[in-house]
Structure 1
Amino acid sequence: MYLHGTSKINTAGRLEIGGCDTAELAAKFGTPLYVFDEALIRRRCREFVEAFRATGFQFQVAYASKAFCVMAMCRIAEEEGLSLDVVSDGELYTALRAGFPADRIHFHGNNKTPEEIEMALDAKIGCIVVDNFMELHLLNEIAKEKGAVMNILFRVTPGVEAHTHEFISTGQTDTKFGFDIGNGSAYQAIREALALKHVNILGVHSHIGSQIFEVDGFRLAAERVAEFAQTVRQELDITFSVINLGGGFGIRYVEGDSPLPLSQYVQAITGSIKSLFAKHEYPLPEIWIEPGRSIVGDAGTTLYTVGSTKNIPGVRKYVSVDGGMTDNPRPALYDAKYEALLANRANDPNEETVSIAGKCCETGDMLIRDLELPATEAGDILAVSCTGAYNYSMASNYNRLRRPAVVFVRDGEADLVVRRETFEDVAGKDTVPERMRKQPVARS
């Protein structure tokens, strides 16, 4: 397993993250357990900020909280000077409860409810990214009722298909998100918004997909957006002050993944915007981006306890752990690949090829297939790397399993930032109608 950030094998032959022995973390906090390398998260935040500062552009780096949204993560984003992207009232509530500055919050989503829009207006957040015509007019009406004016970006689809999984590719024409530039709906949205008094157009937002390992897609998206901005300026007399080119910057999950340095993505985006807008003698806009996975993905490791095994001669050996698709649904959703090692015996030589099975009652609950490991024993601690993004966020209570705890580790200290769910958390909101309650048995 590739060791990210502060991860290393200590003198006891155990995996250590943030100066903390992972076998000891498993014993103290239980498993499954999400472990986050706080120093690595902060380093990734600073890489983005420093890369933008070197370009001379005005900018906002907005952490895409959908990747991993807990109050402690919102605090880190605020402390590192990032803005925040939310896509639901729950994410907005988490950010506000964490004390995140509302004017640095951007609200996304293709189906914002009236209640969510009201919540965003009441909180006086910085910007709403408008996704469709219904939302545009609903937002204007609610803002009118509240005597407010909301800054907006229009989410546009530039017709760029990133080379990624179809479920996480979003910049093409056939997508549920945004206004299409090619068919004229984006232009029409701008025209309609200009007649509304309670929205203030900042510019446009484009997001072409996730887990992207090249810059050509971002350059092409920038070209389409620049052409659109010039058309709007010439025909509708409005100049965009903000261009948001989204996120999607890839990380290394397994050998063969080849992400670029974060600064290279930033340089490609800013370089394209600078040359394209200069070509049209267009004032340089502020640039926003929305990294999520590339900030927290490789900073997360999930610890499991090994349980039963099943060996099918000539076919496969299954090694089961005490988690699975409830804490990491990505292998089932996207056929996502991961690396892992035995955290408590990290220096032992590999002796067998096994497949890591989850404990859910689903044949498809498989975390890793064909993994080289030492001979495993019940009680071993398996560490799966790069589980920081879209694992906790997508976790569920399928089979009524309890969602794991989350700890941040740094400089030898481990802080619990999300407690493990209890049985009361799982069943405590259930109610039984009075008609189903047990009645005393009548005795003759």
Structure 2
Amino acid sequence: MTSALRRAVAFALVGFASVIAPVADRLFAPDIATLVAAVPFLLLTGGLHVVESGVIFELFARPGDRRDGRLYGLAGFSLSIAALILLAIQFDMPTAVPVAATLILSVGNVGAHVVRAQGGEPIVATAGFVVAGFLAGFGSFVLSGSISGGRPAFPVLVFLAASGALLAALLRSMLFERDDPLVIISVGLLLWLFTDLSISLSTSGIAIALAITVALGYVSYALETASLPGMLTGVLLSLLTIVIGDYGWFAMLITFFGGGGLASKFRYDEKVIRGIAQENDGARGSGNVLANSLIALFAVLAAAASPRLTGVHPDLFLFVFAGSVAAAMSDTLSSEFGGLYDAPRLITTFERVEPGTDGGVTWQGELAGIAGAGIIAAIALLLFETITLGGAGVIVASGFIGMTTDSLLGATIEGRWVGNQGVNFLATLSAGIAGAVLAVATNIVAL
């Protein structure tokens, strides 16, 4: 057993102690339960700062801990568990959540290290993390539910475990090992949100959703249209969109993912020569995927929470979602196709600029962008009974507004105050807002 695998197993064993949370919550009043469940982890956090050597230090020490002479990694791990337990007992978070978040990460790490020890490639190690984390998360909810006297239905348990494992794998692929506490807290908060939404699912529904998203994620990675973090981001967002939204929402999102990825690959060698090619051989990373999809994710979550938590009709967020995705599609097609043509003009002054200049546009690119927004609008028109021709027009207009905003920001602030991903986010935000405003203004959606 390698030292990294041995350390991962040791962390997982500490993580199993989090099961004290549902036990204490079942047996004691909240204040006493907090003392019983959280305080031991807080004491462990403080005590580890003085451990400088010995068997415990050698077992848990990461490279950074050895350099600093303190078990900061284990201390942060314990502190994050204590924080989630405090939230669970004092603020009505299900006590299964801290257990699941902790074990998804810690057991997932064990799975990844087992695969790495066998010489597995990064994507295989990530698959090992996701599978082990999923099984740990599912088992955590079952065990905690048995202790507390209630648990969600089987399909919902599968969704919660899969979502948590995918988010943890995504964060682990982007962060350092010392950032594990951030992963635990992030997964815990996501699971808390989903348990509060009271999601309803069938067994066949979750099976189809998982099969579709995993297959598409593998294809995107195999075709090199997305990096490993980008693939994980796309798979997670697709799963959430199918389950929390519906297949119509997913159809719009996956059209952007697939169409945008293929557009980046189109005449790639020529784009390299012209200096406008997407980096990483056209494979989109997690930052790019999130920048273009974060508003869409917010919209699908807000729609699921409406009108109970937001007080507005869910269709309003459908237009936010469709508008932001239309903008992402418009901007991608405009850039990837328009950049292949000569003599672009700066959108603010209309002077000629070199291809690839931020804010430079061509009429061919503008047409490609409008066509991209039209594709998203057509999907919405076909798959949603509430979307009429007027609603489709709102989506196209929103996509055009987002694409134009992207060009304007590229010509004015990109490279000075924000980067490309920040501009993409602001463009999809403007499109989402435009979609909501236009839908209300044209009486398609009533507030």
TM over 0.5: no
Name the structure with the higher helix share. 2
Name the structure with the higher strand share. 1
Q: TM-score, normalised by structure 1?
A: 0.23
